[in-house]
């Protein structure tokens, strides 16, 4: 069932998405990790906004104040496989002293909505809500069933969100085969003026590890050949300085070939690094998708300046390419040697799917409607999304939260960064594009 919105309905949709994004940002649903998060207030807001247009939801509390919201919209043809349209409600912390504005103000300044979550991912949450609210008001049914899921805890491993629900409540997604979520469909303008839209069709896997070195405890004034801190820091340095081999996956090859074509650079699979400057602010993230990565992020040792501790530990954030998980694990063990204990704290799969088929065609067509000169391309995300949990249920996921960014806005550093913001015009573009996609998928 297709539909053409009137100009008044488009204006209504755009106004609602701006309001919703601002109000979602003003609810500080901060996830501090280690189970310390609170999505209750923002979940209640989502429920109220949907109830306002007659949509009832199920509220699922997986731990105190860890709250998820799920509902199913019946489509005009419920015999078709369903689509999961999902977002997460939590955000990472923000230090207000570092920001130009209150990070939970939702202030509109310089043509942007500012605040923590503006692009990760309360903008997409607002788009989803605005679209289904409009549908409810005008009595529109999507072409197939859509399961709306607003998850908790995505920023800390999804333990109280999509992981819990996929395991304990899989029936909520019965009949669904595909999913759409964050970090995809955003624009980047190349130095030739060509504008690409990066649709996320792959994700790196996660392997967070704890290294532990043990030695002899003793007085800091004496010689100690078995100092645990020394052993640990040597191991950490080897990991941090290691040069990982370039391993281009099928998604990376498609992206780099297209960018080479659009920038008049010869494609050389043995020297993909020469294309990274073409990605500008995206370069650091795109560069991380060429290889496995292992970054030391935390150290813990000792309790007094003149006491050599018996043990020392470090946390390593490992990210592996699709098909290269074993290379990451084996290389880490080889680098640290047999005397350092390596413990896996968090492990999650890598994903990669073909950038083809009816769903991809619908995403590309929706982008072309709003930006005929735009060029959709697939990309591999250096991080991960809740699509990982849904993949356990056989659901194929993509990142498609479309935003058109100005050519001069370096947006990639804004993810988890200071002064996070989303352009108002870009958000309007996104909600229109997502609407086009959803009525044609």
- Cα 275 to Cα 24, 252, 269, 291, distances in angstroms: 38, 12, 10, 15
Q: What is the pLDDT of residue 346?
A: 87
- Cα 139 to Cα 167, 326, 345, 367, distances in angstroms: 33, 51, 48, 25
In tens, the pLDDT along 13-47 reads 999 999 999 999 999 999 998 899 999 999 999 99
In tens, the pLDDT along 150-188 reads 999 999 889 999 999 999 999 999 999 999 999 899 999
Q: What is the pLDDT of residue 279?
A: 86
Share of the chain above pLDDT 90, in %: 90
In tens, the pLDDT along 228-270 reads 999 999 999 999 999 999 999 999 999 999 999 999 999 999 8
Residue 104: pLDDT above 90?
A: yes
Which domains are present in the chain? 7-201+351-440 (3.40.630.10), 205-241+294-349 (3.30.70.360)
Q: What is the pLDDT of residue 3?
A: 86
Average pLDDT over residues 62-85: 97
Whether a cis peptide bond, with omega within 30° of 0, leads into 121 is yes
Q: Which residue has the tokens 């996320």?
A: 200
DSSP string, 21-41: HHHHHTS--BB-STT-B--HH
How many residues are there in the chain? 441
Cβ atoms of 325 and 207 within 8 Å: the answer is: yes
pTM comes to 0.92
Cβ atoms of 364 and 165 within 8 Å: the answer is: no
Q: What is the pLDDT of residue 1?
A: 61
Kindly list the strands in the beta sheet with 341-348, ordered across the sheet, starting from the edge strand earlier in the chain: 293-301, 311-320, 205-214, 341-348
Beta strands at 66-73 and 146-151: parallel, antiparallel or unpaired: antiparallel
In tens, the pLDDT along 319-375 reads 999 999 999 999 999 999 999 999 999 889 999 999 999 999 999 999 999 999 999
């Amino acid at each position: 069932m297709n539909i053409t919105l009137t100009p008044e309905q488009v204006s209504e949709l755009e106004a609602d998405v701006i309001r919703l994004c601002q109000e979602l940002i003003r609810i500080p649903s901060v996830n501090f990790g280690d189970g310390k998060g609170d999505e209750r207030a923002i979940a209640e807001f989502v429920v109220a906004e949907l109830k306002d247009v007659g949509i009832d939801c199920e509220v699922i509390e997986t731990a105190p104040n860890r709250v998820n919201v799920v509902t199913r919209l019946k489509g005009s043809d419920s015999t078709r496989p369903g689509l999961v349209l999902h977002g997460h409600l939590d955000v990472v912390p923000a230090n207000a002293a570092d920001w130009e504005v209150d990070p939970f103000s939702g202030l509109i300044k310089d043509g942007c909505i500012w605040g923590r979550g503006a692009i990760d991912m309360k903008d997409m949450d607002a788009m989803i809500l605005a679209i289904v609210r409009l549908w409810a008001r005008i009595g529109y049914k999507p072409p197939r069933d859509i399961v709306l899921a607003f998850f908790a805890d995505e920023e800390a491993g999804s333990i109280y969100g999509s992981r819990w629900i996929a395991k304990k409540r899989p029936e909520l997604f019965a009949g669904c085969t595909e999913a759409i979520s964050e970090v995809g469909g955003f624009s980047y303008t190349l130095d030739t003026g060509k504008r690409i839209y990066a649709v996320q069709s792959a994700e790196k896997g996660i392997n967070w590890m704890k290294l532990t070195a043990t030695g002899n405890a003793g007085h800091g004034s004496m010689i100690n050949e078995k100092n645990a801190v020394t052993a640990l820091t040597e191991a950490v340095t080897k990991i941090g300085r290691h040069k990982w081999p370039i391993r281009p996956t099928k998604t990376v090859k498609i992206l780099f070939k297209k960018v080479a074509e659009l920038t008049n650079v010869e494609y050389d699979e043995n020297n993909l690094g020469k294309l990274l400057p073409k990605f500008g602010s995206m370069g650091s993230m795109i560069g991380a998708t060429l290889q496995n990565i292992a970054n030391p992020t935390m150290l813990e040792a000792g309790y007094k300046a003149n006491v050599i501790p018996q043990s020392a530990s470090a946390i390593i954030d490992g990210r592996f390419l699709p098909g290269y998980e074993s290379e990451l694990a084996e290389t880490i063990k080889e680098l640290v040697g047999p005397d350092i204990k390596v413990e896996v704290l968090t492990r999650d799969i890598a994903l990669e799917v073909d950038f083809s088929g009816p769903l991809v065609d619908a995403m590309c067509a929706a982008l072309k409607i709003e930006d005929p000169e735009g060029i959709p391309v697939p990309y591999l995300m250096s991080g991960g999304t809740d699509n990982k949990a849904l993949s356990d249920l056989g659901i194929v996921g993509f990142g498609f939260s479309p935003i058109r960014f100005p050519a001069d806005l370096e947006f990639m550093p804004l993810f988890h960064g200071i002064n996070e913001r989303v352009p108002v015009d870009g958000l309007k573009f996104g909600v229109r594009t997502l609407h086009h996609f959803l009525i044609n998928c």
